[in-house]
Amino acid sequence: MERKQESGFKEKVYDIIFEADTPWGKFFDVSLLIIILLSVLVVMLETVGPIQERYQNLFFVLEWVFTIIFTIEYILRLYCVYKPMKYATSFFGIVDLLAILPTYLSLFIYGTHYLVVIRALRLLRVFRIFKLGHFIKESKIITDALKASRAKITVFLFSVLLLVVIIGSIMYLIEGGQPESGFSSIPRSVYWAIVTLTTVGYGDIAPQTEIGQFFAAVVMIMGYAIIAVPTGIVSAEMVQSARAEALNTHCCQHCSREGHDNDAKFCKYCGAELRWAMEDETLPS
Amino acid sequence: MERKQESGFKEKVYDIIFEADTPWGKFFDVSLLIIILLSVLVVMLETVGPIQERYQNLFFVLEWVFTIIFTIEYILRLYCVYKPMKYATSFFGIVDLLAILPTYLSLFIYGTHYLVVIRALRLLRVFRIFKLGHFIKESKIITDALKASRAKITVFLFSVLLLVVIIGSIMYLIEGGQPESGFSSIPRSVYWAIVTLTTVGYGDIAPQTEIGQFFAAVVMIMGYAIIAVPTGIVSAEMVQSARAEALNTHCCQHCSREGHDNDAKFCKYCGAELRWAMEDETLPS
Amino acid sequence: MERKQESGFKEKVYDIIFEADTPWGKFFDVSLLIIILLSVLVVMLETVGPIQERYQNLFFVLEWVFTIIFTIEYILRLYCVYKPMKYATSFFGIVDLLAILPTYLSLFIYGTHYLVVIRALRLLRVFRIFKLGHFIKESKIITDALKASRAKITVFLFSVLLLVVIIGSIMYLIEGGQPESGFSSIPRSVYWAIVTLTTVGYGDIAPQTEIGQFFAAVVMIMGYAIIAVPTGIVSAEMVQSARAEALNTHCCQHCSREGHDNDAKFCKYCGAELRWAMEDETLPS
Amino acid sequence: MERKQESGFKEKVYDIIFEADTPWGKFFDVSLLIIILLSVLVVMLETVGPIQERYQNLFFVLEWVFTIIFTIEYILRLYCVYKPMKYATSFFGIVDLLAILPTYLSLFIYGTHYLVVIRALRLLRVFRIFKLGHFIKESKIITDALKASRAKITVFLFSVLLLVVIIGSIMYLIEGGQPESGFSSIPRSVYWAIVTLTTVGYGDIAPQTEIGQFFAAVVMIMGYAIIAVPTGIVSAEMVQSARAEALNTHCCQHCSREGHDNDAKFCKYCGAELRWAMEDETLPS
């Protein structure tokens, strides 16, 4: 009897922490979101010299408050989940652990420059909120379009990588002898090629010789055509998925399959007449 | 009787000021547009040291001329509108007030550096002209496409924000120790991440270490795929709305099928005459 | 009789100079193209200090050779055209005159720095070749798409102009007091706003204060969504025109109108049965 | 008899080296890919001063190991191919030769700065792997879209070239007199115009005068509309090819209409069974 009650409590905690459709679950998600954002803000401000000097004590206290809250949350998650080990070794499980570990480690290790920054990875926890509310559909469309074009984008990025190595090598050949030009090695030249092809253009490395500037100009003009490729890939994918969305979602009453065009009169799978075509003229938009 | 006449005058003023379809209304709109642009030009030139010194007196006179014109216009707007309070607290009401207030305040307050600039916000008044003439349809299409993709763009911008904080934190970890690198705090590193991902690339902060440059190169290549997303979203939306515009949603009364072109007079499936083509010439846009 | 012969010679010259479909016309167009490109190359190289010093005499001779060729061509054009005045005052007529005038003027006027550059405008003559060969269709598609989206792009560019003035004004307010920041006036700040929003990002002017960098970051993120708009407009237009191209070009045998969908059985204009739908199943792609 | 055996061995080698569908062929391709990437990595690291000094001997040995492997491979390719001369003079034949020649030449020629870099061109050999595995289809779609829009992109790039020469000339006129501005000749100004129009924006050359900055701002705003063109071209092409892929061009044998989905079994217009769905399962791609 007691065990069942415990199990009931466990389930309740699970619902609050992992689900978002109850009022308490929603409240939990939103407060957690705010606390994560605040704690990352504190981490960011801690690295700004003057602010850190002035609010050192406040930041120290806040950091421990956040850590204790996250620790309780982490223990609760481990407690209420059915397979604690699976959660602990999952992506979000590791991120949750990394969010609290650095503060405890800072008790033992001095000069924890790196630990400060690892705490900023808490922000990764925020990606959980995408499961929340009305953003699911939108983020699903974007990630679906990116997933569908993943193979094309991989091929594209791989070609770009080959291209920048070749461009970088040629540029090193052209500008390499110039002492002040910055093209001191092929890796640096490749870095320049990436900076130029992506149209970022810092200007920390720029060609000095006439022939170098001519070649750089050719690379930039090429970059024009190249930047059009990923945009075209994703655009085509999004147009395609927008069209698929606009398609009819009615089912055939005979074989129960959907995906018929709006102007179809007969089920394209079983040949039965589609009734809705006559009765229901208001088509889903 | 007198009241009616007054009301008639009120309506006339209203027609001239708020409507654009009468000759006087059009003339009013165009002259106001020119005056606004001139007054903003004066504000801009006032901040250019040498020009300000030379034409100080001219600018002073012009500023007061513009202010008096705008004041009269503001009072007329308050006078002829049916609900003065609603107008005064509306977006354009506040912008109209902000357009005249700074000049009057400069009589009492000395050193009105900020007031000068607020006057430049007069430019916001120009957005009114979008209700004017043949630009309505075009601006409606653009804003509709942006509105329709608002949710997607919000998700996208939010993801980019998370991404730049994480990239900035990692870059601070890599380059933070370098005294001359400029990655002196996480907020500065996040600023660099934004400058890089958006391909702006000022070059005021640039990675100095090899590992930093390698990571920066990875970020730029990533930026390639990322910049394709908003373009894809807006493109898909525009293609969709262009197609919707081109399609007619009326049904043939004989065979109940739709998808006819806007200029079709006969059903392309059964050959029956399309009735709506004659009765309803204003096609859905 | 003599007059007719003259007229025949006139027509022959006209065919060679203005038309491109005869072998001589084609030869004329291609040689003129090469001469124009060579003459512009000479103009460009003349401005490069060391090269100019070395080949001064060669450039001088070449310049006069090109000018004499262009002069003969200009006179022939005036001679063979039906309405010489209309040609002389047309866009290409003026460009043709500007291509020869500077060299003659340089005989009388010394220190013709500006005249050198005007000669570079000879390049504008090259746009004539777009009427040549198989590039017509392609350039027509691009210019058609740009023309069709001209109104939308105008609205967009106008909104961007308003936006950059407002962003520039706000940035001047934020960074204006900093002596070394470069935001010394509103026009300069507007220039910075354009450099940033278009993602060019020279880095000659960059925000120095924390709040300035924060605002700049917001502007850049905004720029992400903004750059998607013109791309979306042109993409939608091109998709639309590509689809229109794919549409059926067969005519109805009854009313002789085209533009029917590929799946149409009856003419959508007159209701007559479309014969080709049955006889000719190979549809134009 | 012996000759046949030899021929059998030849074919076996051919299958391993040139084909990728046998286990040994796949193993060969993947190991070759890894060796190529490693050898290019060594070439790149050799140009980095400090690393080169430290691992000089290791790099020397590795370089000879790679060269001997590539030499054996080159001889085998020459041996097993049916027309050795055709292979030797093909693009990949020359690249394969260039991959090994520099190392042998470095025995005779001292100070082989250029030869080092030519070895980086080994990377071109990697493009062979695109024939490998499931990337074929994806890379085919991208290259098809680029090929289909080649004519349009050529016209576009040519127009951009004309434009940057004209912009560069005008900018040279405006800023040319300024000693520190960097616009010292028309070619340099054209270089600046390319850097600006492509939104790379190094900032090594930037306008100094007010009028120069104004003109630069106009060029950047123009660049907004221009960058949309190649993106629009490629997007339209990709949308078109994605649609073509999704549509079936078979006709229903009963009502002769097409436009059926690839998974349709019955005509959606008349309900007749679609024959091709059963007979021809390999659908046109």
Find the CATH number of the domain harbouring A200. Answer: 1.10.287.70
> Subunits touching D (CB < 8 Å, at least 3 pairs)?
A, B, C
Q: Tell me the CATH number at C125.
A: 1.20.120.350
Which residue, chain included where needed, has tokens 């009269």? B72
Q: Say what the pLDDT of residue A69 is.
A: 92
Percentage of chain D lying above the pLDDT 70 cut:
75
Residue of D nearest to A225 (CA): D230
Q: Is A129 on the interface with B (CB under 8 A)?
A: no
pLDDT tens digits for D223-232? 877 888 888 8
Tokens for B27, please give them.
């003339």
Residue C177's alpha-carbon distances to A178, B236, C184, D191, in angstroms, are 40, 44, 8, 34
Q: What is the pLDDT of residues D78-130, one digit of tens each?
A: 888 888 888 888 888 888 888 888 888 877 776 556 676 777 777 877 776 65
Nearest-10 crossing angle of helices A135-148, B210-246: 110
Low-confidence ranges of chain B (pLDDT < 70): 1-7, 20, 110-114, 116, 128-135, 177-179, 244-285
Same domain for A107 and A18: yes
Asked if residue C159 and residue C123 are part of one domain, the reply reads no
- Kindly state whether D135 is in contact with chain A, defined as any CB-CB distance less than 8 angstroms: yes
Query: With left for phi above 0 and alpha for psi between -120 and 50, is residue B127 left, alpha or beta?
Result: alpha
pLDDT value of position A210: 83
Per-residue pLDDT for C280 more than 50?
no
**Would the pLDDT of D21 be above 60?**
yes
Same domain, B153 and B93: no
Q: Which of D235, D238, D270 is the mutation pick for testing B, counting most B CBs within 10 A?
A: D235
- B253 vs A: CB within 8 A: no
pLDDT value at residue D193: 92
Q: What is the 3-state secondary structure (H, E, C) of D76-134?
A: HHHHHCCCHHHHHCCHHHHHHHHHHHHHHHHHHCCCCHHHHHHHHHHHHHHHHHHHCCC
Residue of A144, A219, A152 whose CA lies nearest to D145: A152
Q: Which residues of B touch A239 (CB under 8 A)?
A: 235-236, 239-240
- C-alpha C279/C-alpha B284 separation (Å) is 36
Give the gap in angstroms from C-alpha C239 to the nearest C-alpha of chain B.
Answer: 7
Tokens of B68: 């008096």
For A209, which residue in chain D has the nearest alpha carbon? D188
The SS3 of residue A273 is strand
pLDDT in tens, C241-251: 777 665 544 55
For the ranges A41-45, C182-186, C275-279, which has the lowest average pLDDT? C275-279
ipTM of the complex: 0.78
Task: Measure Cα distances from C155 to A33, C94, C234, D210, D221 in Å.
Answer: 39, 31, 14, 26, 13
Lowest mean pLDDT among A76-90, C128-142, D17-31: C128-142
Residue listed under structure tokens 């042109």: C234
Q: What is the pLDDT of residues C139-170, one digit of tens each?
A: 777 788 788 888 888 888 888 888 899 899 88
Residue A267 vs residue B48, higher pLDDT = B48
Residues of chain B positioned with their CB less than 8 A from the CB of D235: 235
The pLDDT, as a whole number, for residue C216 is 92
Three-class SS of residue B273? strand
What is the predicted pLDDT for the residue at A285? Answer: 37
Residues above pLDDT 90, as percent of chain C: 8
Give the best residue of B183, B224, B233, B245 to mutate against chain A (max A CB count within 10 A): B224
Q: Is residue C51 part of a domain?
A: yes
Q: How many angstroms separate the CA of residue B271 from the nearest CA in chain A?
A: 16
Give the C-alpha distances (Å, rounded to integers) separating A157 from B167, B183, C96, D37, D210: 20, 28, 46, 16, 40
The pLDDT, as a whole number, for residue C192 is: 92
Does a structural domain hold residue C271?
no
Beta carbons of B59 and B46 less than 8 angstroms apart: yes
Residue holding tokens 């007719």?
A: C4
Q: For residues A242-246, give the mean pLDDT.
A: 66
Cβ neighbours of residue D36 closer than 8 Å, sequence gap 6 or more: D122, D123, D125, D126
Q: What is the spatial distance between Cα A203 and Cα C202, in angstroms, rounded to a whole number?
A: 8
B17 located within any domain:
yes
Q: Is residue A175 in a domain?
A: yes
pLDDT at D57 over 60: yes
Inter-chain touch A201–B206, beta carbons under 8 Å: no
Q: Which of residues 216-245 of B touch A (CB under 8 A)?
A: 216-217, 220-221, 223-225, 227-229, 231-233, 235-237, 239-240
Q: Are B204 and B115 in contact (CB under 8 A)?
A: no
Q: pLDDT at position C193, please?
A: 92
**Residue predicted with more confidence, D11 or A72:** A72
Domain count, chain D: 2
Domain range for D169 is 147-241
- A64 and A126 fall within a common domain: yes
For D150, the closest chain A residue by CA position comes to A225
Shared domain for A207 and A127, answered yes or no, is no
Tell me whether A172 touches chain D (CB under 8 Å).
Answer: yes
**Are residues B108 and B167 both part of a single domain?**
no
Residues 6+ apart with CB under 8 A from C101: C118
- Residues D110 and D168 both lie in one domain: no
Nearest CA in chain D to A202: D202
Are C213 and B191 in contact, with CB atoms under 8 Å apart? Answer: yes
Report the pLDDT value the prediction gives residue C215, as an integer from 0 to 100: 92
Alpha-carbon distance of C122 to D158, in angstroms, equals 16
By CB atoms closer than 10 A (0-12, 13-18, 19+), residue A204 is buried
- Is residue D198 over pLDDT 70? yes
Q: Which residue among B135, B238, B261 places its CB closest to the CB of C232?
A: B238
User: Per-residue pLDDT for A282 more than 50?
Assistant: no
How far apart CA C242 and CA B243 sit, in angstroms, is 13
The DSSP code for A110 is: S
pLDDT of residue D215: 92
Q: Is residue D42 part of a domain?
A: yes
Q: Which of A64, C74, A225, A156 is nearest to D160 (CA)?
A: A225
Does residue C85 sit in the same domain as residue C165?
no
HEC profile of chain D? CHHHHHHHHHHHHHHHHHCCCCHHHHHHHHHHHHHHHHHHHHHHHHCCHHHHHHHHHHHHHHHHHHHHHHHHHHHHHHHHCCCHHHHHCCHHHHHHHHHHHHHHHHHHCCCCHHHHHHHHHHHHHHHHHHHCCCHHHHHHHHHHHHHHCHHHHHHHHHHHHHHHHHHHHHHHHHHCCCCCCCCCCHHHHHHHHHHHHCCCCCCCCCCCCHHHHHHHHHHHHHHHHHHHHHHHHHHHHHHHHHHHHHECCCCCCCCCCCCCECCCCECCCCCCECCHHHHCCCCCC
C203 interaction partners in chain A (CB closer than 8 Å) = 202-203
Percent of chain C's residues with pLDDT above 70: 75
Residue D270 counted as domain residue: no
Does residue D54 surpass a pLDDT of 70?
yes
Tell me the three state secondary structure of residue C101. Answer: helix
Q: Looking at chain C, how many residues does it have? A: 285
Spatial separation of the C-alpha atoms in residues B116 and B44, rounded to whole Å: 9
Report yes or no: D132 and D95 within 8 Å, Cβ to Cβ. Answer: no
More confident residue, A109 or C273: A109
Residue D200 belongs to some domain of the structure:
yes
A6 and A118 housed in the same domain: yes
CA distance C120 to A177: 34
**How many angstroms separate the first and last alpha carbons of chain A?**
53
Does residue D91 lie within any of the structural domains? yes
If you measure CA to CA, which chain B residue comes closest to A244?
B240
Task: Give the pLDDT band of residue D5 (cuts 50, 70, 90).
Answer: low
| C223 in Cβ contact with B200 (< 8 Å) | yes
* Per-residue pLDDT, B268: 59
Cα C134 versus chain centre, distance: 17
If asked whether residues C153 and C208 sit together in one domain, one would say: yes
Shared domain check, B164 and B72: no
A127 and A29 in a single domain? The answer is yes
- In this predicted structure, what is the pLDDT of residue B219? 92
Instruction: Give C141 to chain A, closest Cα distance, Å.
Output: 17
pTM equals 0.81
CB contact under 8 A, A235 and D237: no
* Beta carbons of D176 and C47 less than 8 Å apart: yes
Interface of C with D in 261-280 (CB under 8 A): 262-263, 265, 277-278
Does residue A157 carry a pLDDT above 50?
A: yes
Domain end marker among A67, A102, A131:
A131
The nearest alpha carbon in chain B to C220 belongs to: B198
Span D23-40, average pLDDT: 85
pLDDT reading at C85 higher than 80: yes
